[in-house]
Chain A
Amino acid sequence: MFKMKDTIIKLDNVWKTYQMGKVKVNALRGLNLEIRKGEFVAIMGPSGSGKSTAVNMVGALDIPSKGKIYLEKHDISKLPESDLAQIRGKKIGFIFQQFNLINTLTALENVTLPMIFQGIERDERLETGKNLLRMVGLQERIDHKPTELSGGEQQRVAIARSLANDPEVVLADEPTGNLDSKTGQMVIKFLEDLNKKGKTIIMVTHDTNVAKHANRIEFLKDGKIIKRMKGG
């Protein structure tokens, strides 16, 4: 059984302020969050609670207005975009509600794209890509474009893609939001399997049935964590 150990991501009193015209909006108001290696954490909250902003911070897509973000003990809260892109490419795998595959590329090309950005050789990319697609049960569909795949299949391609560079953390933003409950269950099963294999999973959802699969559920409201629950 996998053992929980070091902190992998830590948000320390993170504030994010947006300028909306003349009004300043605080999306995050001193958010504190600590995620340890191997955890499966769900983040829940109503819309407008700052969930998306929090996910962007955890995923190194954005930097805070105030406060610090640590990834494996490194402060990433003030890094330039080019460094953040490298961190995202290597350390974090994204799964989105909208699947966010590139429509002009085939399933295999979508899965290998993150490896191209890391400069991995073609042969290795193709082998890894095929293995990942086999793992999600799409070995027969590698040459299909996203538009030729069902929603569930597209999300499985996205899961395969998120694992392309063998990241520490998989960040799933409403991964079942656009799927029927049966397909959603299958996606959650994949995430659970990944977690068992040692991946840290951070999942944003508003569905309690989905959230209960996590080890821990963090409730977010008005830009802060208001409640913490054990899941599973």
Chain B
Amino acid sequence: MLVDNFIIALKGLRHRKLRSWLTMIGIFIGIAAVVALMGLGEGLRGAIIGQFGFLGPDVLAIRASGINFAGPPGQAVVKGLTEDLAEKIQRITGVEVAINRYIETGTIEFNDQQDIGIAWNVPEGKNRKIFEDMLNLRTQKGRLLKDSDNFKVVVGNDFTKDDKFGKAVQIGNRILFDDKEFEVIGILEKRGSFIFDSVIVMNEDVLVDNFRDGDSVNAIAVRVKELKIIDNVIRDIEKLLRKERDVKEGEEDFTVQSPENALQTLDSTLFGVQIFISIIAFISIIVGGIGITNTMYTAVLERTKEIGIMKSIGATNSTIFSLFFIESGMLGMVGGIVGITAGFILSHGFAFMGRLALGTELIRADVGIGLVLGALLFSFLVGLIAGTVPAYQASRKNPVDALRYG
């Protein structure tokens, strides 16, 4: 019965093709906007999680931050983290390990072509295994570093692309980092994040001895013993750093970042943008819904005689109601389907253009199944709500008057 009503309603819509399509435009634009922007936002979020993703949920990153508020005005100098801090942090209860991280920017040369890239270290000794595990390092080809590997490196997956240096880097090839020659002994698995995919990984001694200026550490990676005590550990580390760096609470010149609070910062920004876009899209959908109501009123009026005929051959009020109700819902849903398709294409199109323009892999669109189903259900509901009053009016028509109409 319901299926049959769907079929009858669909035939009605197809009979009024142009009007049906025009009516759907409002819904179409709104849904397309929502899907495109939610998809882009989701993709961006996914990409940024990917960037932070080298830190597991139980890993903290400690960095010196931009400006030392305690210093004289205008003296915007970053006070680096000292090398001995890691050891002190290691002694805090609940800390499993604290590892110094050195990150150096330099010129990479291969096949007579140059590029700017970054190198970071893998610690030696017993921390090597823990660190590899923390960062989930695995090779696609070759092997990871050992303690004795001087002037040997593992490179990110992007080095296997022909366009990076004109030809792909192979195991056994020699590459230059800031004019020092290294042998490539391993290629990392693709991670989708430039922190891994464009990196040169070398042993700590090699990096520190050859490339480091000054005596500060770029970051300290800390893994906690248990995830549930992470907040306590953060508090203790902050207390220690305030003491070590002689700053007051609220004037910290360092950050202790957990993946969670990094994501929160990102989410609140993305959320603001998405809310704004959603409000605009919502207005469009409301207008679209009013358009559907209007079209349905016209349809009810036009088909007054048809309603009379159907009633005379046994259609009850509720049957007539459901026919128009379903028709209206389908107007919304088809508008939604077209909108989702357009939104999908738009978001991937924007992401593609963004990647071309900015030259980063970071911009990705991710139109998930939840978003698609949600948009579909929402557009159907808008159609249903928009059709309620017209459908009710249709159902209440007196059969005698309706038959005499037109």
Contact = CB atoms under 8 A, between A and B. Distances in A.
Interface of A: 56, 59, 61-62, 81-82, 85-86, 88-90, 94, 96, 100-105, 109, 113-114, 116-119, 122, 161, 164-165
Nearest to B11: A104
Interface residues of B, number: 26
Contact of A102 (B309, B316, B319): B309
A85 B316 contact: yes
Contacts of A114: 313-314
B4 A116 contact: yes
B318 A82 contact: yes
Given A62-B400, A117-B319, 17 more contacts: A59-B312, A61-B400, A82-B316, A85-B315, A86-B314, A88-B312, A89-B313, A89-B314, A94-B312, A100-B309, A102-B309, A104-B14, A105-B11, A114-B313, A117-B313, A118-B314, A122-B4
22 contacts: A61-B399, A61-B400, A82-B318, A85-B315, A85-B316, A85-B317, A85-B319, A88-B312, A89-B313, A94-B313, A100-B308, A100-B309, A102-B306, A104-B14, A105-B11, A114-B314, A116-B1, A116-B8, A117-B313, A117-B314, A117-B316, A117-B319
A85 B400 contact: no
Interface in B306-352: 306, 308-319
A114 B1 CA distance: 12
In this complex, the member of B1, B8, B15, B312 whose beta carbon has the largest number of chain A beta carbons within 10 angstroms is B312
Nearest to B16: A104
Contact of B316 (A62, A86, A161): A86
Nearest to A87: B314
Contacts of A81: 316-317, 399
B307 to A, nearest CB: 10
Nearest to A102: B306
In this complex, the member of B4, B305, B315, B319 whose beta carbon has the largest number of chain A beta carbons within 10 angstroms is B4
Interface string B201-240: 0000000000000000000000000000000000000000
Contact of A104 (B12, B312, B316, B319): B12
A27 B316 CA distance: 26
B390 to A, nearest CB: 18
Contacts of A56: 400
A164 B5 CA distance: 18
B403 interface: yes
Nearest to B12: A104
A53 B234 CA distance: 87
B314 to A, nearest CB: 2
Contacts, number: 73
Contact of B403 (A61, A113, A122, A161): A61
A165 B312 contact: no
A105 B15 CA distance: 10
Nearest to B397: A81
A103 B4 CA distance: 17
A117 B187 CA distance: 69
A34 B235 CA distance: 96
A105 B319 CA distance: 17
Contacts of B1: 116, 119
A81 B308 CA distance: 13
Contacts of B398: 62
A112 B314 CA distance: 12
B15 A104 contact: yes
A88 B317 contact: no
Interface in B1-27: 1, 4-5, 8, 11-12, 14-15
Interface in B271-310: 305-306, 308-310
A81 to B, nearest CB: 6
A100 B303 CA distance: 12
A165 B314 CA distance: 10
Contact of B311 (A85, A104, A116, A119): A85
Contacts of B314: 85-86, 88-90, 114, 117-118, 165
Nearest to A125: B4
A108 B240 CA distance: 85
A105 B313 CA distance: 15
A119 B11 CA distance: 19
A100 B305 contact: yes
Nearest to B3: A122
Contacts of B306: 102
In this complex, the member of B5, B306, B316 whose beta carbon has the largest number of chain A beta carbons within 10 angstroms is B316
A116 B1 CA distance: 7
B395 to A, nearest CB: 9
Contacts of A96: 403
A135 B342 CA distance: 51
B312 A100 contact: yes
Contacts of B15: 103-104
Contacts of A165: 314
Nearest to A171: B312
Contacts of A94: 312-313
Interface string B379-406: 0000000000000000000111001000
A92 to B, nearest CB: 9
Q: Which 4 residue pairs across A and B have the least CB separation, nearest first?
A: A89-B314, A117-B314, A85-B316, A114-B313
A164 B8 CA distance: 18
Contacts of A90: 314
A119 B319 CA distance: 11
Given A100-B305, A102-B306, A116-B1, A61 B315 contact: no
B201 to A, nearest CB: 67
A56 B402 CA distance: 12
Nearest to B1: A119
A94 B309 CA distance: 9
B403 A100 contact: yes
A116 B11 CA distance: 15
A103 B302 CA distance: 12
